[in-house]
Amino acid sequence: MDEINFTVLQAKVCEMILDTPAPGKHSARSAISHLKKAWKLHEQDAEMAVFRTITGEEESVSAIFHSIRRHRYKGAEKLNPKNHVHKSALQPFLNAIESNFNLTKLNKLKPTLELDVNEVSPKFKTRISITDKLGNEVFAYPIPPLNFGLNQNDKVYNFEKEILQVTNQQIIKKVSDYIKSLANERNRLLYSSNKGIPEIRNLSDKFFFDSRDRIFRNLILYLLIDPYPIQTFVQQALDAFLEMLGLLPEGIELEKE
């Protein structure tokens, strides 16, 4: 199989990002390009294939960062699309939010992602379920799709639980080491060490398909953010993410490239 398989939805995302502005568009296109090239390489050069896959994931995060900075969200200037630590940190943060939402906060609202292809320019929408005064289930579509806020005990929810989940039982050094490890993974694939030359064996196709799904999750999030002005939930999540980055020690050092 020369080309990695995309789902129908993922193929549509590839088309939709072409209508977004630079520089986010180019980071999104780059993410897909790295993934495709990684798949073509994986049988001949596993190390370079994994390197390209990791780079593709980082590029998909860069697209999100560029969009947030373009819309000038509060604190957006602190996001660095070229910083490996910043880009590596977003993935575990999103995982924690997704996991906890599935279990608690939004579960009752049955949040659903829909693609509206009836418009001139297709757009993603979010749908939530609400029970009206008569006990009937009705559906609401926030406009823009992420323009809602989460409160807990009458206060803006600050994602403390999600941050603690990423920081591994409140041990700050753990999040530092974990994110540093993610950010350094690419370098370990290319350079020799005291143990010798890096070599990857038994690389499964699942690795690339899992990465594909993470990349497109990020690109869908990009498409939920980029077409719209400032949205409440995006700002709320950004505030929490920047707080998490602030837990990292100043001057965290990566292995030399």
3 state SS of 152? strand
Rounded Cα gap, residues 179 and 74, in angstroms? 24
* Lowest mean pLDDT across 26-40, 95-109, 131-145, 204-218: 95-109
Better pLDDT: 100 or 39: 39
For 105-126, give the DSSP string. TTGGG--EEEEE-SSSS-EEEE
Pairs from 236-240 (Cβ < 8 Å, separation ≥ 24): 236/149, 236/150, 236/156, 236/157, 236/159, 237/97, 237/159, 238/68, 238/73, 238/74, 238/75, 238/76, 239/74, 239/75, 239/158, 240/93, 240/158, 240/159, 240/162, 240/163
End-to-end CA distance of the chain, in Å?
Answer: 33
pLDDT of residue 103: 53
Q: Angle formed by the axes of helices 172-190 and 46-70, to 10°?
A: 130
Residue 109 has pLDDT above 90, yes or no: no
- The pLDDT tens digits for 76-96 are 999 989 888 788 888 888 887
Look up residue 174 and give its two tokens. Answer: 């753990």
pLDDT of residue 159: 76
127 beta partners: 112
Mean of the per-residue pLDDT values of the chain: 83
The H or E element spanning position 88 is helix 84-103
Q: How many helices (H) and strands (E) does the chain have?
A: 8, 5
Could you tell me how many residues make up the chain? 257
- The pLDDT tens digits for 116-152 are 887 678 999 998 888 878 888 888 898 999 998 777 7
3 state SS of 73? coil
